[in-house]
Structure 1
Amino acid sequence: MSITEVDFLPKLVAYIVEAARTNGDKAPSERELAEHFAVSRGQVRESLAILEAMRIIQRRAKSGIYLTLDAAGLDSMALLARAGVQLDAAQIFQAVELRKIHEIKAAELAANRATEANFERLRDILERSERQIADGLGLQELDGEFHLEIVRATQNDLFHKICASFYAASFQRMPVYFGQIERSIKSHAEHQQIFDALYRRDAILAQALMNTHLGRAMSYWTELLDGAREQAEKKSAAEPDHV
């Protein structure tokens, strides 16, 4: 049974990343990949061309296929997220920092440009968030929906497309961040405050509230990154020196 392209690409990426990370970033060959997935080499070749265009891999003549995640762009992050490939703590921090830069400006523009339709959608998201919290569930999906609606309210379609790609790349970490119900409760309260500022067309307050709101997320991932570094340093110090 052949695998459709929409299903195959994430599976191929996940397998390549796992194999390459244990082999000096060198991925299995085209033939090995075709045999592993029981598909034609032509299908593998076409998929590899897509991954190379996204700068996830590089095919080197007479050498093989190599993983090049450091060169990958935002569109590749969305595919990697779909494939279940985890970002490291440093990449997550950088992504949240980028989100902060974008969304503080989005809050300013939305305060001036939001339509009643935008406000109605935001109210609906807030109402669903409240019900979700009452059921003891987190806001891992509704959080992105709320923030993207604010970006949509800027009435800048390109801005919205860029941020939508960013959120597609970050959905994996949302359950981690909202793993504690208290964080969802706090975020919902801050969302309500941001909505109120937007509805009053108070761009300065909306920006300030968004800055504080996203600052909490940055603090969380900063602590996680520092903890990861500390563990790595302890592990390195505990390993015996090789002569």
Structure 2
Amino acid sequence: MNNSHSDFLPNLVAHIVTVASANNDKAPSERELAENFGVSRGQVRESLAILEAMQLIERRAKSGIYLTVDAAGLSSMALLARAGVQLNPRQIFEAVELRKIHEIKAAELAAQRATEDNLERLRDILARSEQQIADGLGLHRLDGEFHLEIVRATQNEMFYKICSSFYAASEQRMPIYFGKSERNAKSHQEHQQIFDALYRRDSILAQALMNTHLGRAQSYWTELLDNNKEWKAATPETPPVAV
């Protein structure tokens, strides 16, 4: 096993979540984790310190280590996704809602600031998307590329880093959304319309098209998750999404 943090942390998180979920959120001890992964307790202790800083775990005096996923921040969501840990229904709703808020603004700024390099990368993504559809393949990876390139076109690096975390956290869910051929075709058509608005520097139209595009995805996840009783109890009533 490669013992670098980048490789070890996702495996460590996956194991902690599995054990803690069946043990009232209590995680294995440092000794148990070291034995399980065949590493030193020093490496485990250092990795646990990172997870504690990310608010994924909490050390409780004379009690042990406890999983605290609900308190985790945005950067933690990306690590959880890499570890194969599914978000709970409320987290999924909030991530989709926040993504929509950010990307509508991104479309406005991109229409004003996109460089020729940004536009050329978007053209390339659209061309590859068309080929994927022709080959009967889903757009779940190219969809992320397209949207993140629009965020990149805002020329705001912090904005790009924040939105990248959203996509890392949602990576597991995207193949579900793009599981139907008609949804791929519709998404590609809407991407093309958004690109045309960006190319014409029409920020108002770009915002409107992005709102409709992401509203459709938000409606899908809301309907899917609404069948979950826990989701229905935890989520306040929201007005219908404009599509």
TM over 0.5: yes
1:44-123 map, 5 Å: 44-123=44-123
Aligned residues: 233
Q: Partner residue of 2:192?
A: 192
Identity of aligned residues (%): 79
* Normalised TM-score (structure 2): 0.92
Q: Partner residue of 2:164?
A: 164
Deviations 1:36-90 (A, max 9, x none): 1111111110110000000000111211000111110111100000000011222
Query: In the aligned structure 2, how far is the partner of 1:74 from the partner of 1:232?
Result: 23
Q: Partner residue of 1:143?
A: 143
Question: Secondary structure of the equivalent of 1:66?
Answer: strand
Structure 2 residue runs of 5 or longer lacking an equivalent are 234-243
Amino acid at match of 2:100: K
Question: Secondary structure of the equivalent of 1:6?
Answer: helix
Deviations 1:127-147 (A, max 9, x none): 000001111000110001000
Q: Partner residue of 1:178?
A: 178
Amino acid at match of 2:198: L
Amino acid at match of 2:86: Q
Offset of 1:207 from its aligned partner?
0.5
Query: In the aligned structure 2, how far is the partner of 1:2 from the partner of 1:43?
Result: 12
Amino acid at match of 1:223: E
Query: In the aligned structure 2, how far is the partner of 1:111 from the partner of 1:232?
Result: 37
The answer to whether the 8 Å contact 2:90/2:231 transfers is no
The answer to whether the 8 Å contact 2:34/2:41 transfers is yes
Amino acid at match of 1:106: A
The answer to whether the 8 Å contact 2:56/2:68 transfers is yes
Question: Secondary structure of the equivalent of 2:227?
Answer: helix
Question: Secondary structure of the equivalent of 1:62?
Answer: coil
Aligned pair 1:14/2:17, yes or no? no
Q: Partner residue of 2:27?
A: 27
Aligned pair 1:212/2:240, yes or no? no
Query: In the aligned structure 2, how far is the partner of 1:144 from the partner of 1:202?
Result: 22
The answer to whether the 8 Å contact 2:226/2:232 transfers is no
C-alpha distance 232-24 of structure 1, shift in aligned 2 (>3 A)? farther
Question: Secondary structure of the equivalent of 1:227?
Answer: coil
The answer to whether the 8 Å contact 1:138/1:175 transfers is yes
Query: In the aligned structure 1, how far is the partner of 2:210 from the partner of 2:2?
Result: 47
C-alpha distance 230-35 of structure 1, shift in aligned 2 (>3 A)? closer
Offset of 1:110 from its aligned partner?
0.6
Question: Secondary structure of the equivalent of 1:65?
Answer: strand
Offset of 1:4 from its aligned partner?
3.0
Offset of 1:5 from its aligned partner?
2.2
Query: In the aligned structure 2, how far is the partner of 1:45 from the partner of 1:230?
Result: 35
Query: In the aligned structure 2, how far is the partner of 1:201 from the partner of 1:217?
Result: 25
* Normalised TM-score (structure 1): 0.92
Runs of 4+ deviating beyond 6 Å: 230-233
Amino acid at match of 1:197: A
Structure 1 residue runs of 5 or longer lacking an equivalent are 234-243
The answer to whether the 8 Å contact 2:89/2:231 transfers is no
The answer to whether the 8 Å contact 2:138/2:184 transfers is yes
Structure 1 or 2, whichever has the larger Rg, is: 1
Question: Secondary structure of the equivalent of 1:26?
Answer: coil
Question: Secondary structure of the equivalent of 2:136?
Answer: coil
Amino acid at match of 2:111: A
